[in-house]
Amino acid sequence: MSLLETIRGPRDLKALPEDQLGRLAAEIREFLVRAVTRTGGHLGPNLGVVELSIALHRVFDSPTDRILWDTGHQSYVHKLLTGRQDFSKLRGKGGLSGYPSRDESEHDVIENSHASTVLGWADGLAKADEVLGRTDRHVVAVIGDGALTGGMAWEALNNIAAAKDRPLIIVVNDNERSYAPTIGGLANHLATLRTTDGYERVLAWGKDVLQRTPVVGQHIYGSLHGAKKGFKDTFAPQGMFEDLGLKYVGPVDGHDIAAVESALRRARRFHGPVLIHCITAKGRGYRPALEDEADRFHTVGAMDPLTCQPLSPSGGPSWTSVFGDEMVRIGSERPDVVALTAAMLHPVGLGPFAERFPHRVWDVGIAEQHAAVSAAGLATGGLHPVFAVYATFLNRAFDQLLMDVALHRCGVTFVLDRAGVTGTDGPSHNGMWDLSILQVVPGLRIAAPRDADQLRAQLREAVDVDDAPTVVRFPKESVGEPIPAVSRVGGMDVLREAPDGADVLLVAVGAMAPVALAAAELLAERAVRCTVVDPRWVKPVDAALPALAARHRAVAVVEDSSRNGGVGSAVAQALRDAAVDLPVRTFGIPERFLPHAKRGEVLADIGLTPVEIAAGIGAVLGHGRVSRQRGSAAEDARVHARPTETLAESPVETTAESRRQAPDHASSGAGEHTMESRESRR
């Protein structure tokens, strides 16, 4: 049995002799490389925190002591040391989350995994302990140096330092990187601290020599020791932290368990806020990771650990790569187009643009709010900025998009990668809120391309807008085959035509076009005639849509975003405004946090499949279990007396097995049925 297999919790770790800790660290790294390359996940960050994680759990008593991780992708070793060693389904359905999870363990506290929040959590927990008189526990916040580029971290530091007698321990895991190398003034400051340990050697030499000097040596050394703070400020200007009121310890070799334990024990005894600066190497112990200059294997897919080749063939070009290539083409044609990223230059596809136009791209660190405001300034200054960001992270910059960009009518394009269901990264990373949140922004225009050709075309249309913000959104998956339009109505592409008097107008939002077309095929087999349209720009609703809808018996909207306040809601409102009285069925993401699993598995679990969409539409038209005669006042009353999720007389929560057994069942968690007549609106 390996040492790692004997560790079922922190108590087992504390009982391990010190001379065995190096062996344990090696076993953990071997385990991580073997397990994470099999499933995919965050490899480089966890290889870098092995010794730090061991030291934390030897010095502190989790879960009584709260150990908080920012960001959570560096918590794999923490999971191993707290009894979770089955990584066989890491980030997969039914397996361990790739981030801390309260459902998994009492040792996990924060699970949202949006960076730069841990110090705010720590501040609140420490204040709660103070108010409630708890003196038998500690709060320890581990924050990566990349997360310190976020403004929220510094807002929290300002508050933490204000209470000089409130114990709280901050561990800065300084590996010079978030995804790519950390940049900016803070990064330069930490680099200075990393490279100026010479003063300690000088002081040690002076102590040795002077204390052996007769008569005057001891007095001279005492004077020099009193000037140590001055030496530190000269050679290692950690004064930035100490001037805030934080006791600074370090730099400490984060791969020396004894040194880290010593620093943590000293901090634990101190009755005030302490910052421990640990130097670590991302990807440590795995040569391919250390040699990867892009991101040190920050995230890997399933691959051969020896050759680093993917275990399964690529499904074709990704949406991200198509965006990145088109940005280079646009940049070569338009010198006014510039780009911004928030610590994710390569993940969002801006690497090629940066190589071609290095002076026209800015990585602002983990600071989405700043990026949005800076983009407003760039636009006002005569440029057209493209801010590429994960859809889930745009939530953090909503106020700036609203008040700084939209209010000032700035021509800024926001490109939302990982929109909709992302899958394996779990609830905090699904980009499922953007189409709901952004609906309320005046003047904003949102494009949802269905294929690579449309992504290229709509990106160009977006950067041509210079008097309002624009958004282009796409999912995390392979882009798929082109889907040609058979005609155009207004600005909408018609993907499938049905004659006048057809049954259903099916509105397909972006990447859901193939699903909608497949649902239309299934309905055709049941003699239900569908027109399928891609609105291309989903905000504002195309002016031609109400008239087109009026030639049908019902409208259905399929979107990979929240069905509350999303495109379906906007379409229903547009029909009401145009006095087009039709039932509208929205198929989208239910209002709940979705567990981690593959994108396709999540979509199936929430009912965003052709079979369930066809069944839901059939129910609206009376082809399923639930029949409704249009214009029935009694039915209207029944509908409005019940929650929208149960309109099809089936529970929201349905199992995959029940769906397979009853494919014509009328409802799923993804469907929302809105039927408002003019009579009921009064």
Q: Is the peptide bond before 213 cis (omega within 30 degrees of 0)?
A: no
Residues near 343 by beta carbon (within 8 Å), at least 6 away in sequence: 115, 146, 149, 178, 179, 180, 182, 363, 364, 365, 366
φ, ψ at 439 (rounded to 5°): -60, -25
- The counts of H helices and E strands in the chain are 29, 19
Catalytic residue from among 84, 177, 396, 445: 396
> How does DSSP classify residue 477?
S
> How does DSSP classify residue 226?
H
Q: Is the peptide bond before 313 cis (omega within 30 degrees of 0)?
A: no
User: Would you say 247 and 273 are in contact if contact means Cβ atoms under 8 Å apart?
Assistant: yes
Exposure string over 226-257, b if 16+ CB within 10 A, otherwise e: eeeeebbeebbebebbbebebbbbbbbbbbbb
Catalytic residue from among 176, 368, 612, 645: 368
CA gyration radius, the chain: 29
Integer Cα distance of 197 and 537 in angstroms: 57
3-state SS assignment for residue 658: helix
φ, ψ at 142 (rounded to 5°): -100, 120
Integer Cα distance of 174 and 154 in angstroms: 16
Other residues' Cβ atoms within 10 Å of the Cβ of residue 578: 15
Percent helix, strand and coil across the chain, each rounded to 5? 45, 15, 40
Could you tell me the two tokens for 168?
Answer: 């709280």
Residues near 139 by beta carbon (within 8 Å), at least 6 away in sequence: 65, 66, 68, 122, 125, 126, 129, 167, 168, 169
Closest CA to 269 of 244, 247, 239, 245: 247
DSSP bridge partners of 416: 389, 473
Closest CA to 567 of 436, 418, 420: 436
User: Would you say 156 and 172 are in contact if contact means Cβ atoms under 8 Å apart?
Assistant: no
Q: Which residue has the tokens 């073997």?
A: 34
Integer Cα distance of 442 and 444 in angstroms: 6
Could you tell me the two tokens for 229?
Answer: 């703070």
Is 645 among the residues known to form the active site? no
User: Would you say 371 and 364 are in contact if contact means Cβ atoms under 8 Å apart?
Assistant: yes
Integer Cα distance of 146 and 313 in angstroms: 32
Catalytic residue from among 58, 247, 282, 553: 282
User: Would you say 617 and 528 are in contact if contact means Cβ atoms under 8 Å apart?
Assistant: yes
User: Would you say 557 and 528 are in contact if contact means Cβ atoms under 8 Å apart?
Assistant: no
Integer Cα distance of 414 and 341 in angstroms: 10
Query: Which of the residues are catalytic?
Result: 282, 368, 396
